[in-house]
Amino acid sequence: MVFGDSLTSDPQSWAVILREMLAMRRGPEGISLTTSAVAGETTTHGLVRAGEISNARPDWVLFLFGTNDARTQGSHPTKTLVHHEETARNIAELRQRVSRETSASCIWITPPAVNEEQVAAHWGLAKFGVRFRNQDLEQVAKIVRDGDGPVMDAFSMFGSPPPSDLLMDDGLHFTLAGQKRMALEVIRGWSELT
pLDDT at 93: 96
Q: Would residue 128 count as lying in a domain?
A: no
Q: Would residue 123 count as lying in a domain?
A: no
Q: Percentage of the chain with pLDDT > 90?
A: 85
Q: Which helix (H) or strand (E) element contains residue 14?
A: helix 14-26
Q: Would residue 178 count as lying in a domain?
A: yes
Q: Would residue 77 count as lying in a domain?
A: no
pLDDT at 27: 66
CA angle 112, 51, 19 (to 5 degrees): 50
Q: Would residue 53 count as lying in a domain?
A: yes
Give the C-alpha separation, 62 to 65, whole Å: 9
Give me the helix-helix angle, 14-26 and 176-193, nearest 10°: 60
Q: Would residue 150 count as lying in a domain?
A: yes
Residue 145 is part of which domain span?
Answer: 2-71+82-115+134-193
Per 3-state DSSP, the chain is made up of helix, strand and coil in percentages (nearest 5) of 55, 15, 35
- Overall number of domains in the chain: 1
Summarize pLDDT for 19-39 with one digit per residue, the tens. 998 888 776 777 889 999 999
Q: Would residue 180 count as lying in a domain?
A: yes
Give the C-alpha separation, 192 to 194, whole Å: 6
pLDDT at 31: 81
Summarize pLDDT for 73-121 with one digit per residue, the tens. 988 888 999 999 999 999 999 999 999 999 999 999 999 999 999 999 9
3-state SS, residue 102: coil
E strands in 115-163 = 130-132, 151-152
Q: Output the domain CATH number for residue 22.
A: 3.40.50.1110
Q: Would residue 149 count as lying in a domain?
A: yes
Nearest Cα residue to 46 out of 20, 31, 67, 77: 67
